[in-house]
């Protein structure tokens, strides 16, 4: 069974940086398309960015474009999210998700990691 686990969340001051990690186990990591989602308090879960195949193929929503970057390490079965210039509105639970290549459904999800950006 494929298992997804996020880590790296915490409390950071506005303007600071964090790196989130998403470890995928139980499957062949390179066979999965990965994505980061986030859910702010009282709001719906939002697609933050997706990685089609590898570094360079990822896309980002406008709110984080230029500030957040994803890096995929297939050898470590890990997807990273580098978050720079964090803003209070970035406060959310961040989720990592995976879907098999050739599908459009993110089937495997982590439990989320909390990110709080303080002023």
| Mean pLDDT calculated for residue range 89-117 | 95
Residue 109 is predicted with a pLDDT of 97
The DSSP element (H or E) to which 59 belongs, if any, is strand 59-60
Res 1: pLDDT? 86
Residue the block writes with tokens 């997804």: 4
pLDDT tens column, 30-68:
889 999 999 999 999 999 988 766 667 788 899 999 999
Model pLDDT, residue 19: 98
Give Cα 74 to chain centroid, integer Å: 15
| Mean pLDDT computed over every residue of the chain | 93
């Amino acid at each position: 069974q494929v298992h997804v686990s996020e880590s790296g969340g915490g409390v950071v001051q506005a303007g600071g940086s964090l790196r989130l990690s998403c470890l995928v186990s139980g499957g062949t990591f390179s066979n999965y398309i990965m994505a980061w989602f986030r859910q702010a308090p009282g709001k719906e879960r939002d697609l933050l960015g997706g990685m089609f195949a590898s570094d360079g193929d990822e896309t980002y929503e406008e709110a984080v474009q230029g500030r957040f970057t994803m890096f995929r390490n297939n050898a470590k079965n890990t997807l990273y999210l580098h978050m720079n210039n964090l803003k209070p509105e970035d406060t959310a639970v961040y989720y990592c998700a995976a879907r098999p290549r050739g599908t459009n459904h993110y089937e495997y999800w982590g439990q989320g990691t909390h990110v709080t950006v303080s002023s």
